[in-house]
Structures are given as structure tokens and as C-alpha cells.
Amino acid sequence: MGCNGSTLLSTRRAHVIDATIAIAPYASLAARFRAVRCRTLDLVAPLTPEDMMVQSCPEASPVKWHLAHTSWFFESFILREFLPGYKVFHPDFAWLFNSYYQTFAAFPEKRLRSSFSRPALDEILQYRAHVDEAIDRLLDTGSGPAPEALARIELGVHHEEQHQELILTDILHAFFTNPLRPAYKPAAHQPAPESVEPIQLIPHQGGLHEIGHKGAGFCFDNELPRHRVWLEPYALAQRLVTCAEFAEFIADGGYRRPELWLSDGWNAVQELKWRAPLYWDGNGNGASGTSEWSVFTLSGAMSFDQVANSPVSHISHYEADAYAHWAGHRLPTEFEWEAAEATSVCGNLPENLRAQSPAKLVQDHDAAKRWEWTASAYLPYTGFRPLPGSLGEYNGKFMSGQMVLRGGSCCTPPGHIRPSYRNFFAPATRWQFSGIRLAGRCE
Amino acid sequence: MGCNGSTLLSTRRAHVIDATIAIAPYASLAARFRAVRCRTLDLVAPLTPEDMMVQSCPEASPVKWHLAHTSWFFESFILREFLPGYKVFHPDFAWLFNSYYQTFAAFPEKRLRSSFSRPALDEILQYRAHVDEAIDRLLDTGSGPAPEALARIELGVHHEEQHQELILTDILHAFFTNPLRPAYKPAAHQPAPESVEPIQLIPHQGGLHEIGHKGAGFCFDNELPRHRVWLEPYALAQRLVTCAEFAEFIADGGYRRPELWLSDGWNAVQELKWRAPLYWDGNGNGASGTSEWSVFTLSGAMSFDQVANSPVSHISHYEADAYAHWAGHRLPTEFEWEAAEATSVCGNLPENLRAQSPAKLVQDHDAAKRWEWTASAYLPYTGFRPLPGSLGEYNGKFMSGQMVLRGGSCCTPPGHIRPSYRNFFAPATRWQFSGIRLAGRCE
Amino acid sequence: MGCNGSTLLSTRRAHVIDATIAIAPYASLAARFRAVRCRTLDLVAPLTPEDMMVQSCPEASPVKWHLAHTSWFFESFILREFLPGYKVFHPDFAWLFNSYYQTFAAFPEKRLRSSFSRPALDEILQYRAHVDEAIDRLLDTGSGPAPEALARIELGVHHEEQHQELILTDILHAFFTNPLRPAYKPAAHQPAPESVEPIQLIPHQGGLHEIGHKGAGFCFDNELPRHRVWLEPYALAQRLVTCAEFAEFIADGGYRRPELWLSDGWNAVQELKWRAPLYWDGNGNGASGTSEWSVFTLSGAMSFDQVANSPVSHISHYEADAYAHWAGHRLPTEFEWEAAEATSVCGNLPENLRAQSPAKLVQDHDAAKRWEWTASAYLPYTGFRPLPGSLGEYNGKFMSGQMVLRGGSCCTPPGHIRPSYRNFFAPATRWQFSGIRLAGRCE
Amino acid sequence: MGCNGSTLLSTRRAHVIDATIAIAPYASLAARFRAVRCRTLDLVAPLTPEDMMVQSCPEASPVKWHLAHTSWFFESFILREFLPGYKVFHPDFAWLFNSYYQTFAAFPEKRLRSSFSRPALDEILQYRAHVDEAIDRLLDTGSGPAPEALARIELGVHHEEQHQELILTDILHAFFTNPLRPAYKPAAHQPAPESVEPIQLIPHQGGLHEIGHKGAGFCFDNELPRHRVWLEPYALAQRLVTCAEFAEFIADGGYRRPELWLSDGWNAVQELKWRAPLYWDGNGNGASGTSEWSVFTLSGAMSFDQVANSPVSHISHYEADAYAHWAGHRLPTEFEWEAAEATSVCGNLPENLRAQSPAKLVQDHDAAKRWEWTASAYLPYTGFRPLPGSLGEYNGKFMSGQMVLRGGSCCTPPGHIRPSYRNFFAPATRWQFSGIRLAGRCE
């Protein structure tokens, strides 16, 4: 298997790549496996072994743990079971890099991951190569591997893509926690948009809609079964709320007015002393009202002008909900969101707005994407069946206390997103690239 | 206004009443107001002023605070606004007995309520009488009070009924916390049922259903608007899970098997060291497998035999979900629950089971009722509008992080429950009279 | 046994006594026992049963618990062992009212004491009468009780006096926590002193001193053995630091300057947001610099003028130490304090200052007394032997993590204090009547 | 300046040195400076850059932080002030690597040190070289640096030695936290002693003793002023308590018997679930009573047999005190410990015991040394004056809430210890190489 991973060790610190480089559609699962595994190494190329040790908040893991755990997934659920004669790389890794699969093996407390200086990064890279080689072998067998093995390899590929996004999310937090505030990559040279269209809520007709994954392609178990949901007419904004718009909410006392907040949200504001999105520094008291904010990104600290017209990011569900309340609107349900592509648009809309359904946007990969908090709790679809065996713990057991996010972010790997994709986080979570799309009545 | 409240002070400790005495349907709001206010005093008759000081867990309030706060509600939202010339009983009570209405007035931290030895209980009883007299006066005005005033008095009556239930819930916890374990009332003389019918899941056809309050009667804002929901066919158990059945779950390692639990639930089991429902003492290691449990109730500690065939109570949503999982079923959604009355039953069912829909049961008041955890998160119905003004904080701001319970319990006042009634608590809550009704596929 | 306790129930709320009334020297232990037991009831006379339920901070206990526990002490350590045929009042009280004697019986967690609405206050008063009668009987036996019984009764009397002081300390905190801020007693009519003498540090010669209790009178085990300590010359202030002087420290940024504080103290300032002594409200930003403070006392809230020249009270060891540092001095060791009476004063001092040793002041009971934080950790004297049996837990096991206070306060019962008396609290403790006496070099 | 540090980068992982290699006495401060700086690099040679990122408990810091902070000390307190034209290595390092000197500069929260992946280890090694070169230059100036500069360099050398010890203490905890339990160095080949002499308490006469540093050599400010202390006769054990002896305490229920413990200690046992010293694994239930313990060391996990006759290590003050209580003895005060060398031994002692005073042992560097918990709180000596300026924060502000340890451990650099040396930690601290020397009455 050839990818620039083989040269990672010598060149790791030498160049900084564009983390968002697109992957072309592949002819085969094997090609897709190789491409995704290589892309992970590309993503960590700007990082030192020391960077990969940092675990700066309970949500995050050290990057080197992500490198190991994604390999553990292939070894534990595919190679051990389906590759005859497979030799495990290291007997302790079965439990050491288990994340949370209680029925598979024991696992260390999550907070201990920051103590894993051993195995060394070099050894973890060898582990990756060992696993890559074995998967290649499994895929090259004459009659091909069992269909279940193929399905799990595909799951493993999507699993790795999820961790690619987490690597970026976690390293942003790690670098923000470092008082020196290093940057993961150089700033893009393209200028920020000087203005944006005003927000318009595009009306959608309701009715009985099918929700959930459709067709033969891959999806996670939580996107099934496809089932019917009744929707009343509703409206969805054609774009996300920008930083400049969110700054108006702050300037209007947004973080000081309990009547705008859910009760749990107001408690979070008080206890955690929130006064702006997670990576905003400063006080917003500039002459222009907002110009003294500075916003930390993967390219380091940005002046507010540079991000003013970008979608606000790194806010909790509570902040999204309070903003929507303040703006006189609400958040969409995940069903409204998913159905938007399929619903008829009511009334006469300008041509450029007619196509603006969220589901149409999810194929686009650009810096302006954010995970969109919905008003839906993360719950099983009626008739939900988790995957059999330990993989049943992948999604199902987290269906409590979390809210659904839809759409994807600038850090989501290209090709990873579907209209039926359900992301989920606890409502106080702010370390994600999460933003706001407003919804409202169809008027 | 005449009720036995006037003799409360002298007779308070002398007799123990049946807290579940029924209230006949009244001809008028005035009569209903009086009856409910009197019933509150009846409920606290077995308690001493010292008992009414105890606040034994974060969910609970001291009983005397409930007595004051329910009066504060009438004073703050009705008398101040609608009774010309009304003199407030005490100027500080406006904030002292405010629970959580941020837009109405400041309020003390909830945990401070246990320091309210002053105002004395006697003064709070005078406060009640002062408010009662003023509401009487308002209701007696020639042309009658404004419709908004009437609507708020009705809301206040339902509000007081909610606190009647909390008084019993809180005093049970208070007496359980007291190492001497006193009883609130004598044990009933009626013997516990010697056996129960096996659980049967009764099938219901799905389709498009109307959900939410219907008609002219009272409801809370969170039961509106009535709206359509699509349901797939489903099945509902004809009765709740009993203590004996729950003891089998425990004996089968229910609290030691992570695969049965939601992730948050398993964390709660570990951190809070749950090994049985809240008020179960002992170890369940009797010769019969369960006979060594003892269960604390409002009538003091009961042997397990006495409660074995009663519905299990005081369990969290997590425990309800894990039990359902263990039993091979699931919890119903709140929509399945509410629609059960209106759905056609599929197949040939014995006559005695045909009528067993939860919504038909809610009028029955008996010792076997428990709030029924559903699989639904507490969220706004599409088109939800909170009440205007401060009363908008009554329900809406709590629509986050909680699960819906349906049905009512043995401590819910008679006449307080509706098929559309939505109770809600955080999923780890165990101090409520909460139980399990199983649901499943329609087969 | 006749004391006004017999009429407590009917008159409890009717009058407010002076908590500091002096007790004349008694001819016998029996008389002293009776007087002390009566005085406890006098102290609680202004309180309602509801007041006696409040436990407003981890340091405090409900007053009714103090009433029961002090009786438990006599029952557990004297009557059970030395009065033949003694019938315990209630079998559960042996563990219910045990405070911390691990080797005597189990005991409930301290925080549960606020759930003890049962036994009712009335029952606890009967318990007191039961115990009083039995001790009377024991003391009246022909040949007199065993010397060990007499010694333990004397210990019980001193134990009860300690709890008398705690009753006042705890009720002050309870009433401060109550948002209505009730007063325990009316304010004294005597005007506050209009001015005080400047602080002067009186020099003492050092040398080899005997420290610890001397003579035949009662003392606690922690005051023994009397042993020698070498002191270098030192100086002690002739009076305590006043509120006005402490306000200067605040105005000079005392709570904002880390260089003045011990490291643990500075952490406490940050975490607990200290900015003034415990019972000071307001902001100290009056025109006069200090006049906007208000200070809560057993007589309710006082304007700063009323307390400006009284000793500052309710400060932690950390605050005392920081003040001393700011003032260019230090706190005295407990040995310097105790030896002050015995040391020669160096130099020519005015007559009125020559007698001002702390040990001479401890017999005076007045409103200006405060426990005086020393620079000494609470550790065993060399050769310390705890009392035998369970009573060995009285003092010894607390000799870790605490600082010694000397002298007594306005709430210490008259006759309870000795020059060798060692009080002790953790250095962050502020709910005590604790103040500052400065020490320094002998120059 | 030549030391093997110059080759550190290439050889870091190649060899494992003996961390306890002795440093010969040097002719000059310059030579001593160089030797100590080189020894630090030798100590970290077995570690990878990833190892140096781990911060596994609140007491610990990452090793790379120690490397930077010790250089920061020389830069901040010596080079900036005394070397004309000195260029700081990096302007941010002044606050980034400040530990706790409030009056010098701001500093990051201690827990953030684990996020310092940047500056990279390489940059920190360059920082060390930059500082080393500058100190060399300062020392080489014609007339020599100012006496104050020389005094501070000497302080910096001792400061670095303290951090050398912390590096070993912290890496042991880091490797214990790592589930793979790597070893820092290979096990010594010398066999453990097969037996030890029984403990004997050697009597010492009391009297007036001088305590504190004496003479012209270096000492910390907390060892001064030398002052007189009166001691009663006492006795001190001739050796430390061994692991085998401590295992007897465990087998006798030591961790289950509250009567043996200080109250705070018993609380720690309950809350932290202590049942053996920090690095003991297993259950001690072997046939031999103790053989199933395994003890983690810098050389990895050892069977109990290998350490049975070594001094017990990594215990808290509470455990030391409970053991002494169980053994019928007590811990010595720091004054008894320090005076032991100077006191006359009473009675007829065998020759081999006559010389066994702790102060005589402190020059010996061997694997059997442990810091010895004393019964003394860490408090200022009478007349204590902290160093002027920011260096006054070095010791003085920690004189609260900690206990003194005397003697040194197997990880203390050779030549670093004095009879008057006062180490100090909070009584619950277990991550240090801390042990027990018993004391008692002189009989």
C-alpha cells in the first residue's frame, strides 16, 4: 500500500497541507479504504508527536489515540474474525485502544488517554501499517471476503472519517488551550466575503414524509428504519447565522437575559461564565461594537473582520436556541431539516432561493459549513435495531441526553455526509464546529 | 371560607387522614378553588411544623415552602393584577416565595428554602387565609372577574394540585432520609393482591393521529397545539411492571450488566451505586430470592410480600429503559401512549383487555398508579406558544434534558389528570412515583 | 430539678433573654450541672422549633440536635456505665445522636441531621429531663458516684458549654442564611465605644516557660501534659483589631493582593470570592470609605458605625494572617499567648498596659471578646495521652489540618475559659466568632 | 560548556543511565552549575518527548515543563537583572514557565502545563543551552558577578536539584498511570536484603537545642533563623519501617479500623478508597499473607519478595501516623529529628546503634532512603524572614496546611540534603518517596 504515510516520520513537520483536500470517487472499497487511511496521515502531518499527546477537555482525545483507535477498530471487528491466521499487533491493544465497547473488552478511563506516551507514536504508525497490510490481504483473497467483512470494512472507513473530523476538532481545542495559541495551518488567502444576503425563511409544505436512509449505500444504524413522519408546514432559513449577526445578539444583552434561555441553558451561562462562543476572545467593546472580538481558528487567531460574515461556530445547543428565540424564530426539527429537499416550496420564490434546501447543501464542502443544531432530541427511530454484537454499542446506547445536529461542517471529510446523517452531542457541547440555521412558521 | 384549615393548628398532629380522598365534581371554579385549598391543608395535617422544614434532596422543597409558594402564585399572578385595592400580605414574599420566574422577581437559591424557619408556619397559614379571602372576594365581584383572571385562577388551582403531589413526594423522601424512618400515614388494611395477570402487549394500529389537548377544558400550555402525528403500528402492555417482576431483573444481574443500559444510565449506576429502586432496602438475598427486600412507603417500611404485586415505583428513566431492554421490549413514546385510546386494537383480544388503554386508566385513582416513563424527550409540540408574560416560564423553559411521563400516580390529586397531560423529569430522577409500562411491536 | 426549662414549652417564644448572663460559682458539681443544663434551655428560649431545624452550613448542626447530643453524652458515657438500673430513654438514640465517636456506635452522616424532624423537639426536651433526673439520682447516691463518674460528669458539663457556644454560632449562620435576616435578640442599648486606643505591642521576655494546664481544676486532655517550651522575646498587642481597622485593609486592596496571603489563603479568596468578613454586606464604597458596610449580628444587621470600634469577627485564619502581614506584624504562637501572663514585660510601660496579657483577659466576659487565631497548628503536646476508651476521640483525632485559637469569645459561657484552653478550627473557617491579636518582635 | 546534553537529541532513547550517579565535590560554583545542569539532561535521557508531555496527577508537572522552568528560574532571577545586554530567549517564556511567583509575572493554571506541546522539546533544550551559555558568561566576567547574583545562582542550582527529584517522582506516577506500566530504568542486579534487624528505639536526652541551619553553607530561607527549642527526652528508631512490616499493618485491618487514624486521615481512606500504599497492586491475600502484592517502581513492577525488606514508600502522613499508632509509637517532631545528631544517647547501647541518628544518615545516598514524615506542621521558625522580592514566595507562602518531612529519598540528588533541610507536603500526599521512622518515649 503506497501513501505518503510511509514518509510521514521524516517529513511530518515539514509541510502543512490543506486538510480539506477532496477525495475522488473510488472504484472499489479497497481504494476507498486506502484513500481514507492515507488521508488520516495527511491530516496529522502538521503535528508533532508532542502535539498528539494533548487531551485538553473531557470531550477530546489525544490525536495519537485517534490514530491507534481507528486501527483497533479494523483489527477488533474485522481482522480477528475474518482473516484466518491474523496475528494481532500487540495483545494489550485490544483493551488499551477500546473506546467504549463494554461487551468487547475492558477499556481504560477516557481521561487516562493523555498518559499514553507509550506506545510511542512510531509504534502506533507501525500498528496502522500492520493493520493496513492485513486489510489489503483480506480484500485480495480470491473469492473476496465474506459480505459481513466487507460491510464492517465499510463501517470502519466511515468510523475513521468520523475520527478525522474529531482530530481537527480536538487539535483546535488543544491549540486554544496552549497559551501560545499555535496555528494548525496557514490562513487561506481567499478574502472573507464582504457581505451576505439577508436571511430569508423559505416556506415548505408539510405532509407525510419518509425519513431515514434510503437506497443501497452505506448508512449508520441510527439512520434506520426509513419511516414516515407527519410535518406541519414550516420554513427554513436559506443560510446559517453569521458571526456578525451573533455579535448583535451579544450586544443586545443576549448572555444576560434569562428570558431568552432554556432553564438548563441559563444555568450553564451562569456556571460556566459564557459570554460569547467558545473561541471568541476579547470584549466586543470596540468602537464598531464588535470589532474587538478575536476568533481562534485552525489558522490561529483571526480579527473579527475576517470572520464576521462566516457562520458562527462553536456554540452550544443552548446558545443556538437562545439566539433563535431572540431572533423571533426557532430551530428546525431534524425531520423538517431532512424533509426540506423533498418538500414543495410554497409561494413564489426567487430562483436562487428555490434550491436552498439543507439536504442539497450537504455535498458541498467549504469553509462555511457548520453542524446545524436541531430542536430534536437524539432518540431511536421507531423500529430501530442496533447492529448485532458489540457493534450495537456504536450508536444506540447514546440515545439519551443529546440533541441531533444535521449537515456537516468544514471539517467533515468530503463524501462523508448524507441527508439522513444524524450527528449528536449533549446540549452544552461547544467544542464542535456547530452553528445555527433558523426555522419558523410557513407564512 | 370554611374548611378544616381553620382548625389545623390545634388538630394538626391528632389525626391521620387518607391523602387520597376524592373530590366530587364542583359546580363552580369558586367551589373548586376552596376544595383544593382545603385539601392541601388536609394533606399536611399529619405533619408537624418541624417535618415541614425538611428539604432532603435537591429535587424537594420543605412542605411549608409549598404552602407558601402556592399562595404566592395566586397573589402574584392574580390578586396584584386583578383585585383593586389588594394589599399584599408581606412585601418580601413577592421574591421570597418565587420559585423560578426570572421575569417576575428575584428569588432565593432553591437550596436556601430549608433555612426559612421564619416566616413561621403560623404566619404562612395566615398568608394562605389572607389569599383565600381575597380570591373569594375577587370571585364574588358583581360582574365577575375578567376572563383572564378566571383563567389564571384555574391555572392556580392546577398549580396547587401539582404541589399537593410534590408535598407527598417530598415528605416520603424526608422520612426516608430520617434514620428513624417515620410513617406519614397508617398502612391500608386492604391486603395486597395475591397475584396479577401476566403482562400482555395489546396491539394498536398506527396511522395519523391527533395529539394534544382537545376541547374547552383546562390544560397546560405544553399540551398544545393539538397536532397530527404519524404512528406505525405498536403494542402496549395492559398493566405496569410489578415489584416482583423488577426483582427478577435485579436477580438476573440487571444492575451489573452494562449492555442493558443507556450509556448515561450505566454511568449513573456506577456513580450513584444504584442496585435497586430508590426506597428498597436490604439485599434481596432471601431464600426466595427476593424476600429480604424491604420497601419504604408513605405508610413506613413494608415487607416485600406486601408490595410484590404492586407496580414498581421510584425508578429512573434509565432503570425503566434497562428493564424494558432486558424484557425484550421498549418504552412507549408519549404519542403511542396518548393515541392508545383512539387507536383500533388489532386482532382478537379477550374482552377484558380490549379497553385497557392508558388513556382510559387515567381517571382511576388507586394505589397502583405510577407515572409512566415514556421514550419521548420533553420537547415543544410543533407550533407551541408559551403563555404570555411571566407565566410563559411555567413549562416552556424546561423543554430540555427531560423525559415525558404520562398517566399520573397514586399521589396525583383526583381529577388532575388528562390523557394529554405531560409530566417531565430528568432521566436520572428517582424521587417520583414513577413506573414502567412496556411497549413493543405490533405482531 | 427546678429550672425555667420546665416552662420552656409554653414560654419559648415569649421573651428574649440575655444570652450572656453570668453563672455564679457553685458549691458543688451537682449545682453546676443543673445550672449549665438550665442555661442551655435559656439560650434556646428565643427560638421556635422550626428555627431549631436549620442546618445552614457544613460546620453547623440544627439546634435541636445540640439539645439531644449533649444529653446523649451524659447517657452514653455516664448513665449507661455508672447508674445501676438506668433505663435508656430510647434505644435508637445511642447511634442517632452520636456525633463522631467511631468506637462507641455507628452514627448518621452529619448532613442528615437536618432531616431529624422526628424525634420532635418535645421528645428531645423529655429526653433532657430524663437524663437530668438520672444524673441527679446518680449524684444523690449515698456514698457518691465513683470518681470516674464524677470526672465524666464534669467533662459532660464542659462539653455542654462548648455546645452552648455552638448553638449561638450556628443560629447566627442560620439567620444570616434566611433571606429575611431575623435577629436572635434585641440590640443592646449601650452605645458602641466612640474611639479606641491605638494598638500597642507590649514586649515580653522569652525564656523557658511551662505550658499547659496546671493545678487540680478541670481541663481537656489536649491541654496536657504541662511541659516546657522555649520562647524568644516577643511582643503582643494590648487589644484586638477592630472592624474599622480591618476595613482599612480592605480599602487598601487587601483581598486583591496575593503577596499578602498564604498560598492556600489566596486560593480560598479566589474560589470562595471572599471580599470581606463573613457577615459583612455591602460594598464599603461609602463617602467615608467604609460607611456602606452593614454587619449581621445576633441582634440583626448593624450599621458599620455601630460596630466600627468592636473587634472584627468571623474571619478565617487566612484573613487574620493576611491582615497581620499587611500591618507589618504576625500572629502570636499559642505558646507566646499562654506565656504572656507569666512573662516579664520589658521596658517602661504605662501602668494601664502592664497588665494586658491575654491570659488575664480570659476571665472577662464581654461583647468585645473574640477567639484569637494563633500561628500554631493544633498538634499534640509532647507526651499527650488521649482519654481512655471512646472519650479518647474527643480531641486527639482532630490534631491535623487545624489551627489553634485562644481566649474565648462573647459567646463562650462564663467560667468556661482557661489560659491553657485550646480551641481549634480549620484555617478557612469563618462561622466562628474569631478575631485578630497582633504579635511581633520585642524591640 | 560541554556535557552529554549536547548529544541528547540523538541518543536520548538509546541508553538508560543510573539516575543516582554521584557528583563529586566541585571546586567552584561554575563547575557545580554545569554539573547540575548536565545531570538534569542525564536524568531525562531515558524519556521520549512524548513521555515528557504527561501530567498524570495534580501534584505533577510534565518533565519538559521542569526542563523549561528550571531555566526560567536562572533567566528570570539572575540573567535579566545581572547580565548586562542579556537577550531573553523568548518574550513569552517569562510568564509561560513561571510556576507560582505572583509578584513576578502572570502564569498559566498548573493543569494547563499538559497542553504545552509547543514550545517543542527541541526548543526547550535550546532554551536551556541559551541560559547555560549566558550564566557561563556571567560567571566569567572579570571581577566576577555581584555577590547577590552568585547567591541566586547557588539558589538556582538547589532549585534545579529539587526539580531533578520531582522529575523522577512525576515520571513514576506517569508510568504507573499508563496502563502498560513501562519502566524508567532496568532493575538493579543487587539482591534485596534477605533480612533486617528488628526496630529499636534509641533514647535521646532532651534539653535546650539549637535548631536550623548553621554555618556558611547554603540553605533555604525556611531553615532560618537558627533558634533554640526545648525538647523532652525521646527515642528514635534506628531504621525506617519496611514494606513487610507495613503489610502486617494491612493484614491486621489497618485500613479498616478508624480508631487508628486521625479524623482527616480516616476520611481520606474512605473517600479515596486507600487500602495499601500508592503503588501497591494486588490484594495481599497470598498464602504467605503478603506475597500477592506487587509494587510498582522506577524499574517497573516488583514482586513483593523483592521489596519486602525495603522501606515502605509512597504513603501519606495519615498512613504514617496510623501505622505509628498501631505500632504503639508515634512520629518524631522535626526538632527531635534534627537534634538527634547533637543529643546524647542515654543508656548502654550497642556500638552499631550509637551512631544511628537521622542527621548522620542524610549524607548517604542509597536506594533505602525515604523522606520521613514528622509530626510537625510546616510553620515559620520564630523570627523567619522570607527572601526579599519575588523570591520571598519560594517557601514562605506555603507555610499552611502541610507537614514537614526530613531526611531525603533515593531520588534526592547527592549533596542536596542537610540535617536542617525541611521538605513539606500536604498530609494526604502519596506521590512522594515518603516513609516512616518511629519515635517514642525515652524509657
For the stretch C370-427, pLDDT in tens is: 999 999 999 999 999 999 999 999 999 999 999 999 999 999 998 899 999 999 999 9
Q: Which of C317, C377, C441 is opposite residue D377, by nearest beta carbon?
A: C377
Separation of alpha carbons D110 and B339, rounded Å: 57
Q: Give contacts of D318 with chain C, Cβ < 8 Å.
A: 400
- What chains are in contact with C, requiring at least 3 Cβ pairs below 8 Å? B, D
Q: pLDDT per residue over A66-83, tens digit each? A: 999 999 999 999 999 999
Nearest to B236 by CA among B392, B122, B345, B107: B345
The Cα of C56 is separated from the nearest Cα of chain B by a number of Å equal to: 7
Query: What's residue C291's pLDDT?
Result: 52
Paired sense of beta strands A423-425 and A403-406, if any: antiparallel
Q: Which of A92, A96, A121 is opposite residue D50, by nearest beta carbon?
A: A121
Q: How confident is the model at residue D350 (pLDDT cuts 50, 70, 90)?
A: confident
Contact B116 C48 (CB under 8 A): no
Percentage above 90 pLDDT, chain D: 79
Which of A12, A63, A113, A117 best probes binding to D when mutated, by most D CB atoms within 10 angstroms? Answer: A117
Which of C259, C261, C374, C397 best probes binding to D when mutated, by most D CB atoms within 10 angstroms? Answer: C397
Contact D92 A179 (CB under 8 A): yes
Q: Which of A231, A266, A401 is opposite residue B401, by nearest beta carbon?
A: A401
Separation of alpha carbons B437 and A353, rounded Å: 47
User: What is the longest distance spanned by two Cα atoms in chain B?
Assistant: 70
Q: pLDDT per residue over D157-177, tens digit each? A: 999 999 999 999 999 999 999
Query: What's residue D18's pLDDT?
Result: 36
Contact D263 C441 (CB under 8 A): no
* DSSP conformation class of C215: S
The Cα of C382 is separated from the nearest Cα of chain D by a number of Å equal to: 8
Say if CB A34 and CB A3 are below 8 A apart.
yes
Say if CB C407 and CB C361 are below 8 A apart.
yes
| For residue B20, pLDDT beyond 50 | no
| For residue C22, pLDDT beyond 70 | no
- Judging contact as 3 or more Cβ pairs under 8 Å, the answer for A and D is yes
| pLDDT (average), residues B119-146 | 93
Say if CB B68 and CB B53 are below 8 A apart.
no
| For residue C109, pLDDT beyond 50 | yes
| For residue B219, pLDDT beyond 80 | yes
Which of A382, A395, A404 best probes binding to B when mutated, by most B CB atoms within 10 angstroms? Answer: A382
Query: What's residue D362's pLDDT?
Result: 66
Contact C259 D441 (CB under 8 A): no
In whole angstroms, what separates CA A306 from the centre of its chain? 23
Q: pLDDT per residue over C140-161, tens digit each? A: 877 778 999 999 999 999 999 9
Q: Give contacts of B427 with chain A, Cβ < 8 Å.
A: 400-401
Percentage above 90 pLDDT, chain B: 79
Closest-CA residue of chain C to D382:
C232
Q: Which of A51, A115, A117 is opposite residue D117, by nearest beta carbon?
A: A51
Q: How confident is the model at residue D193 (pLDDT cuts 50, 70, 90)?
A: confident
Say if CB B207 and CB B348 are below 8 A apart.
no
Say if CB A365 and CB A267 are below 8 A apart.
no
| Residue C426, SS3 per DSSP | coil
The Cα of C102 is separated from the nearest Cα of chain B by a number of Å equal to: 17
| pLDDT (average), residues C182-196 | 85
Q: How confident is the model at residue B344 (pLDDT cuts 50, 70, 90)?
A: confident
Contact A56 D117 (CB under 8 A): no
Contact C118 B180 (CB under 8 A): yes
- Residues forming a β-bridge with D297: D300
Separation of alpha carbons B77 and B103, rounded Å: 12
Binning chain A into helix, strand and coil, the percentages to the nearest 5 are: 40, 10, 50
Identify residue A328 by its one-letter amino acid code: G
Which of B257, B264, B400 best probes binding to A when mutated, by most A CB atoms within 10 angstroms? Answer: B400
Q: pLDDT per residue over B264-289, tens digit each? A: 999 999 999 999 999 999 876 555 55
- Judging contact as 3 or more Cβ pairs under 8 Å, the answer for B and C is yes
| pLDDT (average), residues D64-86 | 97
Say if CB D68 and CB D56 are below 8 A apart.
no
Closest-CA residue of chain B to A378:
B377
Going from the C-alpha of A23 to that of each of B115, B250, B300, D178, the distances in angstroms are 65, 51, 68, 37
Contact D103 C266 (CB under 8 A): no
| For residue D283, pLDDT beyond 80 | no
| For residue C17, pLDDT beyond 80 | no
Q: H-helix or E-strand containing D32? A: helix D29-44
Cβ burial of B173 (10 Å; 0-12, 13-18, 19+) is buried
**Residue D337 CB coordination number (10 Å):** 27
Query: What's residue B6's pLDDT?
Result: 40
| For residue D7, pLDDT beyond 70 | no
Q: Give contacts of A318 with chain B, Cβ < 8 Å.
A: 400
- The residue among C16 and D201 whose pLDDT is bigger is D201
Separation of alpha carbons A341 and A337, rounded Å: 8
Q: Which of C102, C232, C377 is opposite residue D382, by nearest beta carbon?
A: C232
CA dihedral angle for residue C108, residue C114, residue C116, residue C122, rounded to 10 degrees: 130
**Residue D216 CB coordination number (10 Å):** 6
ipTM of the complex: 0.92
Closest-CA residue of chain A to D111:
A56
Q: Which of C50, C108, C182 is opposite residue B53, by nearest beta carbon?
A: C50
Query: What's residue C320's pLDDT?
Result: 98
Query: What's residue C353's pLDDT?
Result: 74
Contact C114 B50 (CB under 8 A): no
Chain A to chain B Cβ contacts (< 8 Å): 82
Query: What's residue B356's pLDDT?
Result: 75
Q: How confident is the model at residue B18 (pLDDT cuts 50, 70, 90)?
A: very low
Least confident of B147-156, C187-196, C337-346: C187-196
Separation of alpha carbons C312 and C290, rounded Å: 14
- What contacts B53, CB < 8 A, 6 or more positions away? B62, B64, B114, B116, B117, C50, C53, C54, C114, C117
| For residue B441, pLDDT beyond 50 | yes
Q: What is the mean pLDDT of chain C?
A: 90
Cβ density class D6-31: b for 16+ within 10 Å, e for less: eebeeebeeeeeebbeebeeeeebbe
String of DSSP letters for A272-326: HT--S-TTEES-S-STTSSTT-EEEETTEEEEHHHHTTSBP-S--HHHHHHHHHH
Q: Give contacts of D380 with chain C, Cβ < 8 Å.
A: 375
Residues of A with CB under 8 A from a CB of B: 100, 102-103, 208, 227-232, 234, 258-259, 261-266, 317-318, 321, 333, 375-377, 379-380, 382-383, 393, 397-401, 427, 441
Q: Which residues of chain A have pLDDT under 50?
A: 1-2, 4-27
Say if CB A406 and CB A422 are below 8 A apart.
yes
Percentage above 90 pLDDT, chain A: 79
- The residue among D77 and A287 whose pLDDT is bigger is D77
